[in-house]
Structure 1
């Protein structure tokens, strides 16, 4: 389907306190800066900070013309009260929030509807535009037999405009595109300068079927976020071979006056199936840096040189 999305979207896991805490005022300033910079798609999920991301995003967007942006949230994890005497402090999924709630996997029809209703309450909205089935890696049967049909029914009723799936892998996303009528997929980290697995089957099939691709995780959780590669790859310490490969890519970029994060943001859009690149940001300064990067043109010769050196496929 053709669905109006801004070229770059706002990923809201960081304002749900992913890894480190962000204050309410800073979270609002980040959303405001993104909107002012032209971001018009905002993505969130109950998973992000046990609902904190949804609450902050909804509060920050309140008062904005509802038809001026699109918003996506996700289903598959219900938030329920943590048992008395349970673990205190930061939650166990990397979010710096009190663990007074816990996540329960639920891809049932009732679970999906309940999850969406609770998300709307946290967002302070009557409806969202897009609902994505979130990380159903170990729940294929229930996700395809209950979650997808429930969302497709809501789409047919006009309650939501589009439904899809978001995952950190491309194989099951490909299966969803083949076997269901999803409108879009969000492969996280699977169509980047260092991981092109999504381009093998998923992206060509999406192009053939008219399924929009929201490319997320384009920095592979940090390794491509700075011109001198360091940090994590898919949320684990980057291996030396990956660091070496990223450094080789950065060296080619440098010859063309391009930084590694600039190339990482531009690369996914080279495939015609990609409708939007969703970037997680935690501060107004990060928004400004990313906006400056995407405003700079990337020379076509850069991609040709990366192909010639075997760093990206031709």
Structure 2
């Protein structure tokens, strides 16, 4: 079966699951609508995002749209189960502003993966998902994910239950192990091929090209430091305060971008699509305005000379 076409940009739906802060239902719908109006037809979600809230909100938004007009990916590996320790007022302890009535339970078994997918489809109101990823197996048990979870995903694809399968993770090493162990259609690569840092370029991306695995590149703003035209004084990089060296490198890149008539976040998006293994960028948005910004950046023109200048200054690899 031919894998679905996803590019060049999709919407990551963690924020509509109340990532870090509460978002109203109206604002979530507005964010989804802005992404749709900007051309996004690929939406990535997961049970993890708001303990199912992201999937429910995405499902409501897509309910009146033709099923062949969009692509949805969700994730398996984390079941949502009742939280016996819940007390009134408890909120989720993994960064989502939702009541902690449920908790996550790692289960890469066939029964667990089938149950997870079935429950996701119920929340989404869909009969099928286009792509299903094993979610962060290295955060729990990478060996079990590879030995148990990946064969189940391949089985689901062979049955026609899903169109395409993959793995999503924050580690290039984890994803390389999975690419080598299974016949995947996609990987979702988080924060490992950005304008600041490209650890995935050494082994993972060549392996994906060799095996025909398409890469969905996420985290392209490097958790914040590349998200604004000027590097903020208290920038974050990989979920922590950026070091002085990283801030200085980002500021140098920003200055060169300005010389060539573009800005740092626009260059970050375009750079993240340049590798031939990358099929799409998936960017999150916590408001309609951010979704509109993402669309404008992907549609902007970036001169080829910018990449030559950055490589000459040894800020990106030559040939990037």
TM-score range, shorter chain: over 0.9
TM-score, length-scaled by structure 2: 0.95
Count residues with an aligned counterpart: 314
CA distance in 1, matches of 2:35, 2:124: 18
Distance in 1 separating the partners of 2:63 and 2:3: 26
2:75 is paired with a residue whose SS is strand
Alignment of 1:277-296 (within 5 A): 277-296=281-300
Distance in 2 between residues matched to 1:293 and 1:141, nearest whole Å:
39
2:160 paired residue among 143, 158, 161: 158
Q: Is the 8 A contact 2:86 2:101 kept in 1?
A: no
In the other structure, the counterpart of 1:309 is 313
Distance between the aligned counterparts of 2:86 and 2:274, measured in 1?
A: 51
Structure-1 residue corresponding to 2:253: 249
- Deviation, 1:283, is 1.4
Runs of 4+ in 1 over 3 A off after TM superposition: 84-89
Spell out, residue by residue over 1:208-258, the C-alpha distance to the aligned partner (whole angstroms, 9 max, x if none). Answer: 111000000001111111112233212222222211111111011111111
How large is the Cα RMSD of the aligned pairs? 1.3
Indicate conservation of the 8 Å contact 1:107/1:139, yes or no.
no
Deviation of the 1:47 alpha carbon: 0.6
TM-score (norm 1): 0.97
Is 2:75 the partner of 1:74?
yes
Q: Work out whether residues 166 and 185 of structure 1, in 8 Å CA contact, stay in contact via their aligned partners in 2.
A: yes
Give per-residue Cα distances to partners, 1:196-219, cap 9 Å, x unaligned: 001111111111111000000001
Q: CA deviation at 1:85?
A: 4.7
Which range moves more in the overlay, 143-152 or 87-96? Answer: 87-96
Whole-Å Cα distance in 1 between the matches of residues 264 and 214 of structure 2?
A: 26
2:276 matched residue in structure 1: 272
Unaligned runs of 5+ in 1: none
SS of residue paired to 2:196: coil
**1:258 and 2:251 matched:** no
Question: Structure 1, residues 164-220: CA drift from partner, whole Å, max 9, x if none?
Answer: 000001011111111211111011000101120011111111111110000000011
Partner of 1:141: 143
Say if 1:46 and 1:53, in contact at 8 Å, map to a contact too: yes
Residues 1:52 and 2:53 aligned together: yes
- Residue in 2 that maps onto 1:120: 121
